[in-house]
Amino acid sequence: MTEYNFNGQNCRGDKIKAKNLNFYYGSFQALRDINLDIPGCAITAIIGPSGCGKSSFLRLLNRMNDLIYGSRIEGTIELDGKNIFDRDVDVVELRKNVGMVFQKPNPFPISIFDNIAFGPKQHGKKSKIELEEIVESSLKKAALWDEVKDKLGQSALALSGGQQQRLCIARVLSVEPEVILMDEPCSALDPMATLKIEDLMRTLAKNYTIIIVTHNMQQAARVSDTTAFFMMEPDRAGSLVEYGSTSEIFTNPKDKRTEDYITGRFG
Partner 1 sequence: MRNVSAKQTQKLAMAGIWGGGVITLLLLIVIIGYVLIQGLPGINWEFLSTNPKGGLSGEGGILSTVVSTLYLIGITLVLLVPIGIGSAVYLSEYAPNNRLTRIIRYGIETLAGIPSIIFGLFGYALFVTVLSFNFSILSGALTLVCLLLPTMITTTEEALKAVSYSYREAALALGTTKWQMISRIVLPSAIPGIVTAVILCIGRAIGETACLYVTMGGSAAMPSSLLEGGRTLSLHVFYLAMETNAMDKAMATAAVLIIIIILINALTNLLAGRFQKRLKGIS
Binding interface with partner 1 (CB under 8 A): 62, 64, 67, 69, 92-97, 99-100, 102, 104, 106-111, 114, 117-119, 121-123, 153, 168, 171-172, 175
Alpha-carbon distances, residue 38 vs 152, 227, 243 (angstroms):
36, 10, 10
Cβ closest to partner 1, residue 111 vs residue 214? 111
Minimum CB distance to partner 1 smaller for 48 or for 119: 119
Nearer to partner 1, 83 or 155 (CB): 155
b/e code 229-239 from CB counts within 10 Å (16+ = b): bbbbeeeebbb
In angstroms, give the least distance from the CB of 19 to partner 1.
24
Which residues, 6 or more positions from 94, have their beta carbon under 8 angstroms from its beta carbon? 62, 63, 79, 84
Give the shortest CB-93-to-partner 1 separation in angstroms: 7
Please, are residues 219 and 248 in contact by the beta-carbon 8 Å criterion? no
Shortest Å, Cβ 96 to partner 1 = 3
CA dist., res. 27 & res. 10, Å (int) = 43
SS3 label, residue 208: coil
CB of 160 closer than 8 Å to CB of 168: no
The 10 Å Cβ neighbour count of residue 86 is 9
Q: Which is nearer to partner 1, 142 or 262 (CB)?
A: 142
State which residue, 8 or 109, has the beta carbon closest to partner 1. 109
Beta carbon of residue 134, minimum distance to partner 1 (angstroms, whole number): 13
Backbone phi, psi, residue 263, to 5°: -90, 5
Q: For 181, left (φ over 0), alpha (ψ -120 to 50), or beta?
A: beta
- Considering only CA atoms, which of 91, 33, 101, 99 is closest in space to residue 66? 91
**In the complex, what is the shortest distance from the CB of residue 55 to partner 1, in angstroms, rounded to a whole number?**
12
> CB-wise, 93 or 130, nearer to partner 1?
93
Q: How far is the CB of 86 from partner 1 (least distance, A)?
A: 17
Q: Which of 244, 250, 239 is nearest to 227 (CA)?
A: 244
